[in-house]
Structure 1
Amino acid sequence: MKKKSNLLLIAIVFATLVSCKKEVAPQNQKNIDGLWIVKILKLDGKDFTINEKWFRFEADSTQTSGNGWQQHTTGSWSYQKESNRITIKNDNNFNDFLEYKNPFNVTFDKNSMTLQGTDRGKDVTIVLERATKLPTTEANKLLGLWKFDSIFVDDKEVSDSLNPTKKGMIYLGFENNYTLYNYPEGEKYGIFKTHSMRNQIDLINSSRTPEYQYYKFRLENDNLTLKSTNSNKEIKLTRIHQFPQ
């Protein structure tokens, strides 16, 4: 009988603790849990919106953030119910405008959340929209295999000299490496990088004397146009999904 009484007492205590925990949890904290994409970022009224910046706020007060398919930070977050503020911190990266030690005021509107605060004396406004999957940037769409359709230099088609076999291809890999195939000099290798606020890709070949090439890019379905910013070159390519046999 005494054993049953002890078990009943333990069950009552456990139920009480669970009940208290539910009462302590701020209601709006549940509204914050989940994946959010930054739609607007303004600093002193000027637009500084980053392409497909996102945050994932977990119920255990941890957070991750990144751009497109790439995660680059981990950290924590906390919501202060009394002042209706959120504080976001990073563990592995510096604190930028979105992860600063100063808390932000929070307002909710259906599937959006607006953060307002100050950062180093400047007003910051961030509008986030709830999402169910990671966003895809234009730069993410560059990954894969592309065949050269045309190469223009000074408005003159030069494929006969740069792509005489009409089999020239470039592979853009997820590790930011690229390989040029079927060029007159054989295969060529290098690295590339893209930018978070504009559609630009930079190519740097692997060589004792590296060559830097900078292109603005435009994507239309499976067609890619590269327009050089440091020369009079324009390249048009088409996506392919396997190497030609």
Structure 2
Amino acid sequence: MRILVTLFLIVMAFSCSKKEQKVSNIDGLWIVKKVKVGNKEITPISRWMKFNTDSTQTSGNGWLQHSVGTWSFKSNQLLIKNTNGLEDNAAPFQVKLENSTMTWSREEEGENVNVFLERIDKIPTSEGNKLMGLWKLKKVNLNNHSEEINSTKTLYISWDNRYILQSETDKKEYGIYKIHGHKPELQMVNYGDNPEFKFYKFSISNNELTLIKSDTKEKLIYSRIHQFPQ
């Protein structure tokens, strides 16, 4: 009877130890749900971090992985080092871990910083990732006047941050684009002697792309296609 009690206590202690280890384990993939600096919220779009069991880590935004390095976690303090980035001179993050959520807290340049994360099982896709591909202009709206477009005007968004804007006369505008890191904004500038910066708020729904130009409020509506019009 005494042996059975001893075995039971050992099993219970082992079970509690495994449970505690699981709760305090940050290994795996996480998405940043919210970032607060002081009273301001500056949450990046589709920001993720992956903590590997060999103490290495990677991170990125959407399909773009841009950081790599190491991590250590001891006494609820998380220290992250990026071998391809700038040195982080702030104190380690204080971590609060609850099942599938995690909160980091520390002070940076006199401001309280709080980062809220959730576990995920695959790298998230950003709206900017969905921009890539070929789009055909089908409608223009300016000053509450909407016009259906039956043309071969297209916008091609390439993976390497280049774009091609083609008119009906086969005239092509080449340039580069950038997606804002904290809001759905498409920034474009053309090559050539007279570069012009253009800023668009964008949204994508059911293979339809809507661009609203920031200065004129002109609305351009495109539909996704998979080959250039003849």
| Of 21, 32, 55, the match for 1:61 | 55
Q: Does 1:87 align with 2:79?
A: yes
Alignment root-mean-square deviation, CA: 2.4
Greater Rg by CA: 1
| Of 193, 198, 208, the match for 2:178 | 193
Q: Give the TM-score of the pair, scaled to structure 2.
A: 0.83
Looking at structure 2, the residues matched to 211 and 233 of structure 1 have their Cα atoms a distance apart, in angstroms, of: 16
Q: Percent identity?
A: 39
**1:104-143 to 2 correspondence within 5 Å?**
104-143=93-132
Match of 1:8 in 2: none
Instruction: Kindly state the Cα deviation for residue 184 of structure 1 after the two structures are TM-superposed.
Output: 2.9
Task: Give the aligned length.
Answer: 212
Instruction: Mark the CA change 1:118 to 1:223 in structure 2 (over 3 Å): closer, same or farther.
Output: same
Looking at structure 2, the residues matched to 132 and 126 of structure 1 have their Cα atoms a distance apart, in angstroms, of: 19
Unaligned regions of 5+ residues in structure 2, if any?
1-19
1:143-172 alpha-carbon deviations (Å, 9 max, x no partner):
11100002344444577xxx7x61111110
1:64-114 alpha-carbon deviations (Å, 9 max, x no partner):
11111111111111011xx2211112111225xxx6641111121111111
Looking at structure 2, the residues matched to 29 and 232 of structure 1 have their Cα atoms a distance apart, in angstroms, of: 50
Instruction: Kindly state the Cα deviation for residue 135 of structure 1 after the two structures are TM-superposed.
Output: 0.6
Instruction: Kindly state the Cα deviation for residue 139 of structure 1 after the two structures are TM-superposed.
Output: 1.1
Q: Secondary structure at the match of 1:94?
A: coil
Q: Does 1:233 align with 2:215?
A: no
Give the partner amino acid of 1:204. V
| Of 87, 94, 102, the match for 2:91 | 102
Looking at structure 2, the residues matched to 222 and 239 of structure 1 have their Cα atoms a distance apart, in angstroms, of: 5
Instruction: Kindly state the Cα deviation for residue 28 of structure 1 after the two structures are TM-superposed.
Output: 6.2
Match of 1:31 in 2: 25
Are 1:89 and 1:100, in contact at CA under 8 Å, matched by a contact in 2? no
Unaligned regions of 5+ residues in structure 1, if any?
1-25
Q: Give the TM-score of the pair, scaled to structure 1.
A: 0.79
Are 2:23 and 2:97, in contact at CA under 8 Å, matched by a contact in 1? no
Looking at structure 1, the residues matched to 76 and 207 of structure 2 have their Cα atoms a distance apart, in angstroms, of: 46
Match of 2:161 in 1: 176
Instruction: Kindly state the Cα deviation for residue 36 of structure 1 after the two structures are TM-superposed.
Output: 0.6
Are 1:89 and 1:101, in contact at CA under 8 Å, matched by a contact in 2? no
Instruction: Mark the CA change 1:241 to 1:140 in structure 2 (over 3 Å): closer, same or farther.
Output: same
Are 2:203 and 2:210, in contact at CA under 8 Å, matched by a contact in 1? yes
Give the partner amino acid of 2:169. P
1:172-219 alpha-carbon deviations (Å, 9 max, x no partner):
011110012344361221111110111110111111111211111122
Give the partner amino acid of 1:72. H
